[in-house]
Amino acid sequence: MGLVYENITLKNTLDVLNSRRGIINESDIREINVRAMVDTGAETLVINEEMRLELGLETEGQRQVSLANDAYETCIITEPVMVYWKNRSSVTRALVLQGLTEVLLGAIPLEEMNLVVDPKNKQLTGVNGDEVVLKVK
């Protein structure tokens, strides 16, 4: 299938909420634009420590994770971060992996944004095209 990369925006969720409530200006929202590798084998969003600090994300604990090379590592879990891709968004906690050189966009935010990988065109696409349709069962 090959690797799929997409441009996403990450924002500090607390900043976004404080801006909506008029506590801070919209221009004060901490955010970064990154090129992320779409990784359906990853559970969630994975960032590095520099990104966590730039976004001002507090830590909420630690979790042992299994890496692609079958090694185990203890990672920091952040408070929620907002993930934006085109007209879609998701709120998820991120794992912070030391030495990570690229962001991984995992299955949970992909599912929440109703996205799938189009292997032929090596890109993300909506399950229902451009329309965001969520399942409720």
For 34-89, the pLDDT digits (tens) are 999 999 888 999 999 999 999 999 999 888 887 777 788 889 999 999 999 999 99
**Encoding tokens for residue 83?**
């993930």
Domain-located, residue 119: yes
Domain-located, residue 73: yes
For the chain, what is the domain count? 1
CATH number of the domain that 108 lies in? 2.40.70.10
Q: In a 3-state reduction of DSSP, which class is residue 51?
A: helix
Domain-located, residue 98: yes
Residue 132: CB atoms within 10 Å: 14
Domain-located, residue 75: yes
- List the domain range (segments joined by +) for residue 31: 5-126
**Average pLDDT of the chain?**
90
Domain-located, residue 71: yes
Q: Enumerate helices (H) and strands (E) in the chain, giving the number of each.
A: 3, 9
pLDDT value at position 1? 53
Domain-located, residue 137: no
